[in-house]
Amino acid sequence: MTTALTPGQQALLESELRLARQRTLAALQAQRDGSDRLAHAAALLQDDPQEHEPERELDQARGEHLLAELQALDDALMRLKTPGYGRCIDCGAVIPFDRLQHQPQALRCVACQADAEARR
């Protein structure tokens, strides 16, 4: 199965994926280096463990989100080199270029994505 993407569109999407990957890596590095997560968590625990629990949970959730985003971007860069990139993993339809421009790591067309989100 081939996609309807031109070589120029694929090059643009690859560039956007690489930029998004750099931004995500920078955000992850900033979170890790910003106040050294372990030292920050230890300081919060020393103050009042209950008072700072939401802060720690938020830090952890943000880190997990950034790692998941990084993995999605890496996966999209790998898929970009395969003939199936740009096709919905559920129905096989071509994902419109406009959608891929806004979210190049998209796995589904808009209709299938809406269905997947409704099932969650």
How confident is the model at residue 37, as a pLDDT? 55
The rounded mean pLDDT for the chain is 86
Q: How much is the average pLDDT of 43-52?
A: 63
> Would the pLDDT of 47 be above 80?
no
Whether 70 is in a domain gets the answer yes
Whether 13 is in a domain gets the answer yes
Whether 74 is in a domain gets the answer yes
pLDDT tens-digit series, residues 21-35 = 999 999 999 887 765
The type of residue at 47 is D
Left (φ > 0), alpha (ψ -120 to 50) or beta: where does 86 sit?
Answer: left
Whether 75 is in a domain gets the answer yes
d(CA 18, CA 26) in angstroms, rounded, equals 12
Q: Token pair for residue 13?
A: 């999407």
pLDDT tens-digit series, residues 98-110 = 999 999 999 999 9
How confident is the model at residue 115, as a pLDDT? 97
d(CA 120, CA 1) in angstroms, rounded, equals 29
Domain count, the chain: 1
